[in-house]
Structure 1
């Protein structure tokens, strides 16, 4: 098989990031099941430590469910400013090696190290050095996946978690994918895996044996994606931050979200991240956009534009949550939530203009 691209891609993912920060900063929490989030009746888990995950506790799970699964669970209020500061530390380490950094969230990113700033030929060695430097500077562990495309690098980073790394070479990619259960594919959730199983598709090899028209017939546009990844194909480049036309954040969830409580809680960290960037840069925007990707990869957006700049975090969060409410009740599971602010300006650019009014 020919491999036209010889890129070296690393997917870096912090281990149980929010919970690990809390355990780092409070020794009493170390080795104990910890959930970042609210413990109240309508609270939701934002993140869970590995000790909590052993009981089946996961992000976006209602707190009452988490407590039933793990009666000794310790809830800690999130400290997003602390997480953002640690994330900045981590990204500064990435920048020592390559300018081609594509952040996915506060705790994970793709790096293209095909040509890197330190002239190191081995992507495996670069990943080792980055993980060691993260541990030294933050006392936190990271896992890494190394491969020739983003899809495989993401799969590889999950393979040796926590605090490990795994390499999938070009000669190994198709065989590696063939042996996986379809439910292990990044981007295929439980509901989609069940639909594939009902069609007699249980492994990557089974998926590879299907035609693209057959997969599109059953899964729409996502069928083409499944056709490619079954062949270990992914030509997406690593896209670094450019001059911003918008400020956005999104999260792909390990389990599909269904309830209003799960969705509101799942969106909140994105809103916190976006407004934190607004505060640091002084930028404000006029347009709020909500992005939703369903379990079948159907993607929709909802937007609202203001006459004037959005000037407070409270107003931003309220409007974003109102956009989310327009999509409730959800007809199917949601695997990704995101938001953005666009039409950016600084407040100095709009002196004398009206305060934000809805169109």
Structure 2
């Protein structure tokens, strides 16, 4: 909508006619005061303002409009038949007018200017609306970000408190495990001792009774081993500072500890050059001890065990990672020629208290491989196995170096 302000009605009618011929809608006011009242009630896209009017001239009206945030951006075209001097034209621009046209007015030129300023006003209005929307969006996102930060801080605080609670509980659990271990092992030792005394003193010729005694002692030994394995499993929850370790030295210590079984079974164990890694010495020693013990335990009857321990530097944390001398991971394989297992049970063998074999034929607690898996994961590594029934097994470990 265009507002025409002129104190002469004939001038208003003439301008309205010109605007209507070009499809432009117009309103009118015959004084400055009337114009201000209408502008307060309606939104206008352009004002065509006569300069010379009684009481309040066009310059005064535009100065008032320029002082209001609501109306300061409305484009004003001044029209004047009397004030054609340079100083009046300059004042028109200074008060906020966008153009100053002297009469008689060329209708075509007026229409061109009116359309140009209308288009500019619409574009400015659109930009302002877009700016307002963006400002609101920024405020909404800022508020959302602040709320998110508050929630994250609250959640972090909750997690810290939970972590501290878990650490305390874990510490208490470890203490409890040690106490239980001592309290359980002590009566077991007494059972073994007294049963052996009964065997030696009172059952010299009763083979049936002596067989029961041997079974009792064997059961007590299994119970003792189970308690020891559970303690080893619980130890893995404690935090220990890692250090640079030579895996060859660790494997050498493990083999020295198992030498009596190796000799008894006439096992052949080969170890190639293994890399150094960052880790916990006691845990990695336990890892290799469990894997080598496993290979010795599940050997074929009448066939000396053959165990190969190899190490390679690879490019990525993957069981199939390519060899890379500058890689950041190592792949360690412990393979044997034992009884093997069906790979459909692969997930089962790494779970605590799981065993695929007859406990009477192959002694064990079913915790060894669960401990091995937990140790590998504590070292940010991965472990798997490949096997076939009757054709041995290979345990593959990938660790960062």
TM-score, with structure 2 as normaliser: 0.18
Higher relative contact order structure (alpha carbons within 8 Å, sequence separation ≥ 6): 1
TM-score, with structure 1 as normaliser: 0.19
Comparing both structures, which one devotes a greater share of its residues to helix? 2
Q: Which protein shows a greater Rg? A: 2
